[in-house]
Each structure stands twice: as structure tokens, then as C-alpha cells.
Chain A
């Protein structure tokens, strides 16, 4: 795998950041994904929509090898990050996850750590040796990127759990950004949040788009329409349709997609 983030020129050349080829995912014998193939482009937001149980979370969890963390869960196929298959033999999932960050459905700050320790948790884990000043810089930058800095700058030593739900979720975004991943995966990041916090996270996505490849799973079609460039519609483990968000929502090619986005089912 490459050595950290590519330079500006590499970014342009590698427009397809993450390519999924014939991905199948299983829970024991149950197949949760059927031969899914699609690609996610650099500096764009892709949304994955579909009814509950359609495999959208499974798909996104396959992208940083979190799927296999669940006992009995396996996957076959290829996921290419900058052209390198993360499912190839000898690839360490730990290394993959350091390059592909993830934010979960429920905010998951570490309850015994302070706000700043939460943000720096990834750095500490990765054994990055940095000075106190550098560490503080990373914490401030990450919190600013996550649009949380102004709200917490005076109480960085307070516990991470003392924040509101929306703030906790932005703290988790800051924690994911602190290790400077190349791709950011978000698994229904707003489903536990109120509308105001949801709006903040969506604003945040649009700000982060210029620096990260973002894949967001959402149950909320309006959210996908509002903030994504590309949309994938999944149904019962199949990728039904994938295309420009505008096209998917105005002129879907598949009947199922149209039925879903017009609210006929789901």
C-alpha cells in the first residue's frame, strides 16, 4: 500500500479512489451482498440509500474491513483503494482502517476520555510520536474541521460524554479526521440526531468534501438528495442503480429505484 496520502498530482490521476468489484458479503451462510460493483471518486460524496436490511451498512462496512469484525461474517471480491486490493492476501485490516476512517450510527466517544483525548485517540493508537504543540494543533484542526472547536475550546479536558448527542457525533467525526484518513465512511451518522444536529453534520460533509472521499449510508432520501454527488440504490443485497444524484432522483432508469424514491415502498 502507498505511503500515506498521495500528493496533489496523484489525486488528479487517481480519480477513482475506491473501486468495488464483485463484492459478496456473508453472515455465516446468508449472503447479504450479491456481486456488488461500483466505484467512489475522489473528493465527492456518495450516498447509499435503500430500505432497512438491503445491505447498505454491510457494503460500507466491507469498505474498511469492519464487516469481518462480526463473528461469522466474511466477504469475497475486491475493494481497490488507489488500485490496491484491500482484501488481498497479506493486507493487514488494521492498516486499511487507518486509511479509511469510519463514523457510526450512534455517537461512540470513549466515555472515560476527555474531549481532547478522544480526538487524539487515533494518534495515540497509531503510535504517532508528536510534540505537545503538534498534538494540540491536530486536536484544534480536527475539531475545527468537524465544526466543533468553537463549542468546546474552553473545555477540552471535560469528558467526551458530557457533550450533547450532536456534539458527540461531531466529536467522533473529529476523532476520525485526526488520523488524516483518505476516505471517510459514515454509517447513518444522523439517525440518532435531532434535525438541527443533522443539518450541522450535513454542512460539515459539504465542507469536508474537498479533502476527502466520503461515502455516507443514509435511511433518509432527502439527506442523500441534499448532500451527495452520487447515489447508489440498494435493495435486498443487490446494487440496483448507481449514478449522479440528480439523475437518480429525477430520472431513475430502474423501476425499483423510482418506486422507492417516490415512496411507493420502503
Chain B
């Protein structure tokens, strides 16, 4: 019969339902295992860090986090200078990079014509592809001396009454580290922000323009508020990069385990001290203390991401209540 042929063909083309369900089950199991392996990896990493740093944890306990004394010769280890250095250098980086990145993103999404915007955007993305050791080299040989000769003197001259800008002017120090970090995270923040601003609906922009908004007023009224969640996400992404960046920072921060109010002074971050001292760590306690710094960095990263998620969720929920979308 002619009309049974399509049905037969259909049966032949597809395997029996049981076989197809079985395939589904294999697929589900496989992806589930792969997803779990990420969790296992994180868990294993945490366990290894805790186990290997156990001698230091047992020796110093919570004192490790509040002691500013990092003295390998006398086997005294405190993480505070590095926690401080990590936060301050990252903060400098954000303070410089966020306004600059917003400017770049707004220029690319609002001001530049399409053909220029995409070429420039590509160049900005390219900055993220430069290895950090190259940034470090450039910072040591070009940027650092330039900051010492042309940035620090005016800062000391005009703002020298602030403890931040006192002391001898040097090429390597907290300020240099913060600036190189800023340069390194600008491509990340500006790239995400550009995408965020590009997806703001055209109708929102036109609504502001039709009210008699200038371009800047349109950006302020329609574009930035609409993209706020994404901007926060971009900033957190940049902060995450800055906290963990190692080599470039290790090359220009000066590596000194001290807490100093002056940004001109050499300092160290959690990541930079591990990179710098791991090879020369001779005693077991020294190695354990360095590993505990790594544990602190891991926890910091997790906390930061949780906070970022919560922050984005809060903003989104407010948006949800507002628009019902």
C-alpha cells in the first residue's frame, strides 16, 4: 500500500525508542560526571592546599591573618602585608581602570561610527592577549622609570601632605603595580561594558533623545542605568583578574613584606610573594606558610565571586520588580 511506505521509512530511519532513551541516559550521565569533575577539582584543590599548609595553620592559627611579621629567617609568618598589598594594588587598579574602561566602552558603543568601533574594539580585545610577563617587562623598563620621573614628583608636590604620596620616589612599588594592573584589566572591563551598552534597546536611546537629551544626557539617562548590572559584573571580573595577577605585579611591586601608607614604597601581594619566594623556601614551615597564602587567595576569589553573584542578583531583582520582565 502506497500510504504505508512513509511510515515504514520512518521506522527504519529512527532507532527503537528504548535505544534512543538509552543514548539519552548515557549523554546525561556523561555530562553530569564532567560537571561534577569541576566541583571535584575545586574540592581537591582546597583539600590539598589545606593539607599542605597545615603546619603553618597549626603553628600560627588565626594569628597568621593579623600578623604583619613575615620573617623567614626567624620562622615567623604573617599574611597581613600581602593581604593589604593585594587589596591596595587592586583598589588602585580599579580606581584607574573603571572610569577609563567606561569611557572606552561608551566611545565604542555610542560615539564611534560602526566601522571604527569594531576595529578599535578588536584592538582593545587584543590588549588582553598580551602575556602578562610582557606587561611586566614593559613596566620594569619603561613605565616604572617614567612614573618615577613624571608621575610621582607632581603627586608628591601637590598631594605630599597626604601620607599616600610621601617618601622617596622609586620605579618599583605599590603605585607602579596598581597602574600596570589597571592597564591589564582595562581590556576586560571595557570589552564587557561595550557589549553591555550595545544591547541597550534603541528605543530607550530614542526615548531620551526625543525628550531633548544631548548625547551625554542620553547616555546618563538611558544607557548606563539600563546596563548597570552588566557594568557591575564587568568590574567584578576586572577585580578578580587584578587580585590574582602574579608575574607582572611580582616584577614591579618591589617585593617587600611591609605595610606602608605611602604608595611609593615597595610592597607585595599574595600572588607575587608566592611566585617570588617559592623557589627559595627551604624549611617545611616556610613552604606551608606560602601555601596558606595560596589558600587565602583561593578563599578570596570564592568570596568575591559569591558577593558578585549576590550583587548582580539584587540589581536584577530590583529590575524585575520594576519592569515585570
- Tell me which residues across on chain B come within 8 A of A172, comparing CB atoms: 207
Q: Are A64 and B210 closer than 8 Å at their CB atoms?
A: yes
List chain A positions with a Cβ less than 8 A from chain B. 64, 66, 69, 71, 94-95, 97-98, 101-102, 104, 106, 108, 110-113, 121-122, 124-126, 159-162, 172, 175-176, 179
Q: A106-B203, A161-B324, A162-B324 are in contact. Are A111 and B210 (CB under 8 A)?
A: no
Q: Are B212 and A98 closer than 8 Å at their CB atoms?
A: yes
Q: Are A108 and B203 closer than 8 Å at their CB atoms?
A: yes
Q: Are A161 and B325 closer than 8 Å at their CB atoms?
A: yes
CB contact between B211 and one of A71, A95, A122, A161 (< 8 Å): that residue = A122
List chain B positions with a Cβ less than 8 A from chain A. 113-114, 203-214, 217, 221-222, 225-226, 228, 319, 321-325
Report the bound CA distance from A133 to B119 in whole Å.
50
Report the bound CA distance from A175 to B222 in whole Å.
14
CB contact between A162 and one of B204, B207, B322 (< 8 Å): that residue = B322
CB contact between B212 and one of A71, A108, A125, A159 (< 8 Å): that residue = A125
Which residue of chain A is the closest to B211 with respect to CB atoms? A122
CB contact between A125 and one of B221, B226, B319 (< 8 Å): that residue = B221
Report the bound CA distance from A157 to B211 in whole Å.
21
CB contact between B228 and one of A95, A112, A113 (< 8 Å): that residue = A112
Which residue of chain A is the closest to B315 with respect to CB atoms? A112
Which residue of chain B is the closest to A101 with respect to CB atoms? B210
Which residue of chain B is the closest to A106 with respect to CB atoms? B203
Q: Are A71 and B114 closer than 8 Å at their CB atoms?
A: yes
Q: Are B222 and A94 closer than 8 Å at their CB atoms?
A: no
CB contact between A159 and one of B203, B206, B321 (< 8 Å): that residue = B321
- Tell me which residues across on chain A come within 8 A of B213, comparing CB atoms: 94, 125
Report the bound CA distance from A98 to B212 in whole Å.
5
Q: Are A160 and B209 closer than 8 Å at their CB atoms?
A: no
- Tell me which residues across on chain B come within 8 A of A108, comparing CB atoms: 203-204, 206-207
Q: Are B225 and A94 closer than 8 Å at their CB atoms?
A: no
Q: In whole Å, how far is A87's beta carbon from the nearest beta carbon of chain B? A: 17
CB contact between B321 and one of A64, A69, A162 (< 8 Å): that residue = A162
Report the bound CA distance from A106 to B202 in whole Å.
11
Report the bound CA distance from A108 to B211 in whole Å.
12
Report the bound CA distance from A111 to B322 in whole Å.
6
Known: A97-B210, A110-B222. 15 other contacts (CB 8 A): A66-B210, A71-B113, A94-B212, A104-B207, A108-B207, A110-B208, A112-B225, A112-B322, A121-B208, A121-B211, A125-B213, A159-B321, A159-B322, A161-B324, A172-B207
- Tell me which residues across on chain B come within 8 A of A97, comparing CB atoms: 209-212
CB contact between B225 and one of A101, A106, A113 (< 8 Å): that residue = A113
13 A-B residue contacts at CB 8 Å?
A71-B114, A94-B212, A104-B203, A108-B204, A108-B206, A108-B207, A121-B221, A122-B211, A125-B213, A126-B212, A159-B323, A179-B211, A179-B212
Q: In whole Å, how far is A169's beta carbon from the nearest beta carbon of chain B? A: 12
- Tell me which residues across on chain A come within 8 A of B321, comparing CB atoms: 159, 162
Q: Are B209 and A69 closer than 8 Å at their CB atoms?
A: yes
Which residue of chain A is the closest to B322 with respect to CB atoms? A159
Report the bound CA distance from A172 to B210 in whole Å.
11
- Tell me which residues across on chain A come within 8 A of B114, comparing CB atoms: 71
Which residue of chain B is the closest to A127 with respect to CB atoms? B217
Which residue of chain B is the closest to A64 with respect to CB atoms? B210
Q: Are A111 and B212 closer than 8 Å at their CB atoms?
A: no
Q: In whole Å, how far is A258's beta carbon from the nearest beta carbon of chain B? A: 35
Q: Are A161 and B210 closer than 8 Å at their CB atoms?
A: no
> 9 closest pairs, A vs B, by CB?
A159-B322, A161-B323, A98-B212, A108-B207, A102-B210, A112-B225, A122-B211, A161-B322, A97-B212
- Tell me which residues across on chain B come within 8 A of A113, comparing CB atoms: 225
Which residue of chain B is the closest to A159 with respect to CB atoms? B322
- Tell me which residues across on chain B come within 8 A of A121, comparing CB atoms: 208, 211, 221
Q: Are A160 and B221 closer than 8 Å at their CB atoms?
A: no
- Tell me which residues across on chain A come within 8 A of B206, comparing CB atoms: 66, 69, 104, 108
Q: Are A125 and B203 closer than 8 Å at their CB atoms?
A: no
Q: Are B210 and A176 closer than 8 Å at their CB atoms?
A: yes
Interface hub of B207, B214, B226 (most chain A Cβ within 10 A): B207
Which residue of chain A is the closest to B201 with respect to CB atoms? A108
- Tell me which residues across on chain A come within 8 A of B322, comparing CB atoms: 111-112, 159-162
Which residue of chain A is the closest to B203 with respect to CB atoms? A108
Report the bound CA distance from A101 to B222 in whole Å.
17
- Tell me which residues across on chain A come within 8 A of B225, comparing CB atoms: 110-113
Report the bound CA distance from A252 to B325 in whole Å.
46
- Tell me which residues across on chain B come within 8 A of A112, comparing CB atoms: 225-226, 228, 319, 322
